[in-house]
């Protein structure tokens, strides 16, 4: 372990105490986004946090909190294999020789190109990350933080992989044909073209579609008197997801009408299962499914 003096030195790098002369308050030097900040402070930045982190159940953690837990415990495990002298040298190296470099660009396209070049390791930007930056940037500054929280809360609710799948389904809802260009390009042309009201898209498209998507994927429709969840279970066993976009649209518009949802899903399950067994032309299958719901 580090000496008490070394530990105090590390704590000072993580946490700045209040200074009445300067008029500053207690603050952490590193802050994560709002949804993860308290978790990170409690279990990583606080001095006794890592001991508590070992006992945190992963059952209900969001993807980001799960990754914080797993990565922190992995670091802790690896650090215990080092001698005290090596741990001390590692701490000194991190504090003295590691730097944060800020790179700025004149426009978003240049920023994406530079990020792609520099980010040879780590988590790549997804299409939804790029769209988030572009859409949130068009919202009035006074509302950007609120809509950023809405976007991130929706992503947390369905998971990062599910969020990317949702965006592919939203593209299909608007295009109603298989992907012909790059996903991001089709999004910019057909889903959120220039001039789109970003706040309206988040409130009235992304969020309600995400709610419907989560119910469909997890089979957690709340009306227990209907056979909806059984039908959803059968649909999720089909070896393709061409049925998903019309299901998302219908569920988002009729979530409170259990009889209508059950009737629709019965028809959709029969059609999707039949198309799977017959291996019918996929373009014809998609066209047939889109007849089951009204145009947006």
> Which 3-state string (H, E, C) describes the chain?
CCCHHHHHHHHHHHEECCECCCCECCEECCCCCHHHHHHHHHHHHCCCHHHHHCCCCCCCCCHHHHHHHHHHHHHHHHHHCCCHHHHHHHHHHHHHHCCCCCCCCCCHHHHHHHHHHHCCCCCCCCHHHHHHHHHHHHCCHHHHHHHHHHHHHHHHHHCHHHHHHHHHHHHHHHHCCCCCCCHHHHHHHHHCCCCCCHHHHHHHHHHHHHHHHHHHHHCCCCCCCCCHHHHHHHHCCCCCCCCHHHHHHHHHHHCCCHHHHHHHHHHHHHHHHHHHHHCCCHHHHHHHHHCCCCCC
The pLDDT tens digits for 142-174 are 998 899 989 989 998 998 889 999 999 999 999
pLDDT for the residue numbered 39: 93
Annotated domain spans of the chain:
4-97, 108-194, 219-296
The pLDDT tens digits for 178-196 are 888 888 888 889 999 988 9
pLDDT for the residue numbered 158: 92
pLDDT for the residue numbered 12: 83
What residues in the chain have per-residue pLDDT under 50?
295-296
pLDDT for the residue numbered 295: 46
């Amino acid at each position: 372990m580090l000496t008490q003096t070394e530990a105090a030195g590390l704590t000072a790098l993580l946490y700045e105490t209040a200074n009445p002369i300067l008029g500053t308050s207690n603050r952490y030097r590193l802050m994560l986004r709002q949804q993860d900040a308290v978790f990170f402070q409690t279990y990583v930045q606080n001095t006794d946090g890592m001991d508590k982190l070992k006992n945190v159940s992963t059952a209900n953690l969001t993807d980001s909190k799960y990754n914080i837990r797993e990565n922190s415990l992995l670091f802790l495990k690896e650090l215990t294999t080092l001698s005290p002298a090596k741990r001390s040298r590692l701490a000194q190296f991190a504090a003295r020789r590691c730097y944060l470099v800020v790179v700025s660009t004149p426009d978003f396209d240049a920023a994406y190109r530079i990020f792609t070049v520099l980010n040879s390791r780590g988590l790549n930007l997804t299409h939804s990350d790029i769209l988030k930056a572009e859409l949130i940037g068009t919202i009035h500054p006074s509302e950007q933080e609120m809509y950023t929280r809405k976007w991130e809360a929706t992503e947390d609710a369905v998971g990062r992989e599910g969020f990317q799948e949702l965006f592919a389904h939203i593209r299909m809802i608007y295009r109603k044909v298989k992907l012909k260009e790059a996903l991001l390009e089709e999004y910019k042309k057909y889903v959120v073209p220039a001039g789109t009201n970003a706040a309206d898209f988040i409130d009235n498209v992304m969020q309600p579609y995400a709610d419907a998507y989560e119910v469909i994927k997890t089979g957690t429709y709340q009306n227990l008197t209907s056979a909806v969840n059984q039908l959803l279970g059968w649909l999720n066993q089909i070896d393709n997801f061409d049925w998903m976009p019309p299901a998302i649209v219908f569920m988002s518009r009729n979530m409170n009408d259990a009889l209508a949802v059950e009737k629709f899903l019965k028809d959709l399950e029969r059609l999707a299962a039949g198309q799977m067994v017959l291996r019918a032309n996929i373009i014809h299958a998609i066209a047939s499914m889109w007849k089951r719901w009204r145009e947006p």
